[in-house]
Chains A and B, each alone.
Chain A
């Protein structure tokens, strides 16, 4: 494939297609593949014109970024690598190539360890005898709970069923396999049981620049109920889930899914006067979040923008380019 006069390696095209068609899924996996694609592109570049290499890498970066408009981990992985390329101030193609390959490897390694690190940092927030509550299923939140349990701190975990898709069942199983005492409750019982809970730990789908947490529908209800009961509310999230688009003022798009996830098609047919509204995520305001547990440390949610700038070198221009190419991409398909 050709782009702006450069040949894009076959493997890079394949990775982008994998992300675009959702064959490659999960925030971490998408991010690692994005970083990998950049390393491959750098390695396959032939010639010794540094200016050409830099132009080529910018094109590849835009191309990879545009694979999936809503996955924030992807532009973060790309920015992570590209900002390190820029900071390395290369004087030759060899220099530049090495910077890309090293940054890519560094990102992949660190993102593979992120969930484990989050578990370790998060577990420090849990105290002996704590009763926890969680919503939906999150590898990062499970990591915190399991790590704390292995340290002998967790008494019991209330797991919310999480309608409509019942991801609570997956969480309940994972915790029970570790030997943790799990109480599976309906979503409606969240306030009834909150009095018995010491801390809430949930995951995140996306964290906005102001620290607002976009996560599975109902998360903001748990946060509000926890606030009312003065129960600590922690969000466990890798930093590559922080949305660079939101720095630009972009709203996080909330997907609305099919009504048949909530009721049977036959029920809908029998009830023509009833419409089912099925939003997948909701937004928890930062003031309801006591802290976000990231692999870079436990931070106040309001610091999210700083992480984006420091960790991923997100600049307004980057975000703008990503945003523009995203529009072009959507138009062309």
Chain B
């Protein structure tokens, strides 16, 4: 593979990410990191400019996703550490592939730990509800089923992208039966539900959870019905910027086709831009008081405690280096 091809692949994945076509934030982040590894392996003298550029494109593609930020951060940090122990003339391909392998392995370990801890929360006779698509939640349910726990699953469609359908399909492939409902039916069926499990895009300093739009609706409806609401999230989803007061940016997409089905576009077309606008936020924010616990690789903790545990993950003497700055440093390595 040549450098231009690697860049093209990376940008194609970025587009898929920004159009929310890759379900699951960790999946999206890992695929981006792999594509970035290819760029690092095949591109040379233009890296000092190229790398920061590509990284900032990633941040723009999914501004609210701490997962993308953290996974790329982990990867570049590891590249820097490995190459410094090798010296500047070290074998580049080897450093990059080792770094990406380590990051994948790390994320995998986190998911495994969460699956193990989360699955213990399921009891025989439970009716679980889940929203959108999360590989971590999928694993929790798979693990519990393997352990012989008998439970039912309601999957909420999660408009506008309808990741819920992917979730239901994925559960089906694992041999788990589920019931799919539209977002509007969430309160109707909540009375039958005993526990809700969802994934997250980011967790803020105060424990607020940034998730797929509609997550906060499910949380509120669960609260009203006194149903437990669990968020499955690795500590790498903690957003360090929020400690310094930054708000997590939530993008609103304007594309009418996200909401209006193709065969009905004609009905709104005459009014688009002249009366009717369509707006689709990608994420929403669930306040910490609606979250019973966050299931992390370090255990089941209160959302307000995520900050404390994440500090440990980030390093005791952690000084936050922005992802863009990190990209500049790595870019200079092999220029």
Q: Give residues in A with beta carbon < 8 Å to B.
A: 161-164, 166, 169-170, 172-173, 175-177, 179-193, 216-218, 220-221, 224-225, 228, 262-263, 267, 270-279, 282
Contact = CB atoms under 8 A, between A and B. Distances in A.
Contacts of B260: 161, 166, 169, 184
Interface residues of B, number: 53
Contacts, number: 170
Given A169-B268, A277-B181, A186 B261 contact: no
A217 B188 contact: yes
Interface string B166-199: 0011011001111111111111110000000000
16 contacts: A163-B157, A169-B260, A169-B268, A173-B271, A181-B275, A183-B276, A184-B278, A186-B183, A186-B259, A189-B213, A189-B284, A193-B281, A217-B188, A221-B183, A273-B168, A279-B185
B204 to A, nearest CB: 16
Contacts of A193: 279, 281
A166 B168 CA distance: 22
Contacts of B182: 163-164, 187, 217-218, 262, 278
B220 A183 contact: no
Contacts of A182: 271, 275-277
Nearest to A163: B182
Contacts of A274: 155, 168-169, 171-172, 177-180
A267 B179 CA distance: 14
B183 A187 contact: yes
Given A217-B182, A277-B154, 20 more contacts: A161-B159, A169-B268, A172-B276, A176-B275, A179-B275, A181-B277, A183-B276, A184-B260, A186-B280, A193-B281, A217-B188, A224-B221, A267-B165, A274-B171, A274-B172, A274-B180, A277-B180, A279-B188, A282-B185, A282-B188
B180 A275 contact: yes
Greatest chain A CB density within 10 A among B157, B177, B275 is at: B275
A218 B184 contact: yes
B117 to A, nearest CB: 26
B29 to A, nearest CB: 22
A186 B217 contact: no
Greatest chain B CB density within 10 A among A166, A220, A225, A274 is at: A274
B158 interface: yes
Interface in B263-287: 264, 267-268, 271, 274-281, 284
Nearest to B281: A192
A277 B182 CA distance: 8
Contact of A186 (B154, B159, B181): B159
> What 10 pairs across the A-B complex have the smallest Cβ distances?
A218-B184, A188-B214, A176-B275, A273-B172, A186-B159, A176-B271, A163-B182, A187-B183, A274-B168, A192-B284
A189 B280 contact: yes
Greatest chain A CB density within 10 A among B185, B189, B212, B220 is at: B185
Contacts of B184: 162-163, 187, 216-218, 221, 282
Contacts of A187: 159, 182-184, 214
